[in-house]
Amino acid sequence: MSQLSDLKVDIAIAGGGPVGSALALALAPQGYTVTLLNPPAPGAPDLRPLALSYGSRLILERLGVWSHLAPDVTAIQTIHVSQRGGFGRVNMRAAEIGVPELGYVVPYQTLLSAITLTLADNNANILAAQMTHWKAGEVAQVEYSFADQAQSLSARMLVLADGGSNESEGHVKTFKYQQVAITARVVSRYPHQARAFERFTVDGPLALLPFGTGWALVWTTSEGRAAELSAVSDAEFLASLHIEFGSRVGEFTAVSDRAAYPLRRREFDSAPTPVLRIGNAAQTLHPVAGQGFNLGLRDAWFLAQHGATSTLRLGSSAWIQAYLEQRQADRRASLDMTHSLVQWFGIDQFAVRQARGLGLQILGMLPPLKRHWMRKLSFGQR
Ligand SMILES: Cc1cc2nc3c(=O)[nH]c(=O)nc-3n(C[C@H](O)[C@H](O)[C@H](O)COP(=O)(O)OP(=O)(O)OC[C@H]3O[C@@H](n4cnc5c(N)ncnc54)[C@H](O)[C@@H]3O)c2cc1C
């Protein structure tokens, strides 16, 4: 491949997933020259459903995305949390923290399309290009492949929002959960009535989220069980789901769009100045409690706010350090909260099951504690 141009920009963003695209959008009014590199979409669509928090809705409204998205989301009014094989449950209602809804369910692909549409309205500079190499120095040097040609650009700051897909293992702490999330659309006998369910099992949490006239399922289970569930017929799948989830929404009558996602937690080292990471390229979370995108969106939003208000030189180590310090508490809390939920609910011992049940009951009986948790889930650690 031959080297062609040498573009110079203020900010290059590698990765046009929902987080990188949201950052490009948030930076659009600020007068920086921004280029977003994103390879053409792979053939198969990403079928995962996302639960957006109310806090994410507020950010998406400010970005002008919400009006494109609103017709396609399903609101969550109540979240019911329980554990399989043990007592204790807690109900969380939107009114308890004074918000109109606790969250919204939308397919990953629909969210991405809404952000991309808004980017087009803003004439953002997007290259259908894959970053192939980057190097930090006075400026960041980025090499990328565009229409089968090697090209390069230099940027005062490079933001890695590539989902962490290009990272060598030396720069990341990885924990393999040995769990797989099976996602699917399912239909049940009774309507969802804007209720979401999070049911913890020792194999992993099972989330049933209201979506359209049915449900979006995120069923986390052991690798072996996931392989079995991926292979069985629809009828067998629905019967297994009924056993795992119980009868709260009646029998399950239809399933479609099954997909499987192996799960791991990843925590990336900081990149050298003037490069930084956001979203899954900074931290990859277990999907329990639906936090990954919501956290990544806050990464993007606060990065753009920092760009608008900081008097420090863009891309300098002081500029980047100030941003990282601002984001540290939220990132740490989300990583620790999701990880400990999975670990704690994964222990298959009678005494621990009793303690968990008690914990859920206490949470339900202490409104200030419950509200504290609900606000954390909705707005992150502030
Ligand atoms: C089963 C499941 C359910 C989930 N449910 C929820 C939920 O309910 N709520 C929630 O908040 N989060 C949820 N998450 C997490 C959420 O999906 C991620 O946190 C989110 O997708 C991260 O977005 P991102 O843009 O950082 O990364 P990604 O979505 O991974 O996007 C990365 C982008 O970078 C591009 N890219 C890769 N390499 C390059 C390169 N070399 N050059 C240029 N571009 C590149 C890719 O093509 C892609 O477009 C869930 C995750 C899973 C697995």
User: Above 50 in pLDDT, residue 1?
Assistant: no
| Dist CA 380 CA 373 (whole Å) | 10
Say what the pLDDT of residue 190 is. Answer: 97
Percent of the chain with pLDDT over 70: 98
Instruction: List, edge to edge, every strand of the sheet that includes 283-284.
Output: 89-93, 78-83, 195-201, 204-211, 214-222, 172-188, 252-268, 283-284
Atom of ligand 1 nearest to the CA of 105: 8
Residue with CA closest to ligand 1 atom 17: 293
Atom of ligand 1 nearest to the CA of 18: 25
Ligand 1 pocket check for 166: Cβ under 6 Å: yes
Ligand 1 pocket check for 294: Cβ under 6 Å: yes
CB neighbour list of residue 143: distance below 8 Å, 6 or more residues apart:
131, 132, 133, 134, 150, 151, 152
User: Above 80 in pLDDT, residue 347?
Assistant: yes
Ligand 1 pocket check for 88: Cβ under 6 Å: no
CB neighbour list of residue 74: distance below 8 Å, 6 or more residues apart:
104, 105, 106, 192, 194, 209, 210, 211, 212
Residue with CA closest to ligand 1 atom 3: 287
Question: Can you tell me the mean pLDDT for 182-208?
Answer: 96
Say what the pLDDT of residue 2 is. Answer: 41
CB neighbour list of residue 67: distance below 8 Å, 6 or more residues apart:
none
Residue with CA closest to ligand 1 atom 11: 293
Question: Can you tell me the mean pLDDT for 202-231?
Answer: 96
The first and second tokens of residue 212, run together, are 């359209």
User: Pick from 237, 245, 172: which is nearest to 209 by CA?
Assistant: 245
SS3 36: strand
Helix axes 292-309, 54-62, angle to 10 degrees: 40
Ligand 1 pocket check for 146: Cβ under 6 Å: no
User: Above 90 in pLDDT, residue 40?
Assistant: no
Say what the pLDDT of residue 123 is. Answer: 86
Say what the pLDDT of residue 278 is. Answer: 98
Say what the pLDDT of residue 85 is. Answer: 84
Beta-strand relationship, 49-53 and 149-160:
unpaired
Tell whether omega for the bond before 274 is within 30 degrees of 0, i.e. cis.
yes
The first and second tokens of residue 301, run together, are 């939003």
User: Above 80 in pLDDT, residue 3?
Assistant: no
- C-alpha to C-alpha distances, 193 to 48, 349, 382, nearest whole angstrom: 22, 34, 31
If phi > 0 it is left, if psi is from -120 to 50 it is alpha, else beta; for residue 131 that is beta
Question: Can you tell me the mean pLDDT for 337-358?
Answer: 91
User: Pick from 104, 378, 293: which is nearest to 216 by CA?
Assistant: 104
Q: What is the sign of the dihedral through the CA atoms of 176, 178, 184 and 187?
A: negative
pLDDT band for position 170 (50/70/90)? low
**79 CA to centre of ligand 1 in angstroms:** 24
As a whole number, the mean pLDDT across the chain is 94
The first and second tokens of residue 264, run together, are 């791991």
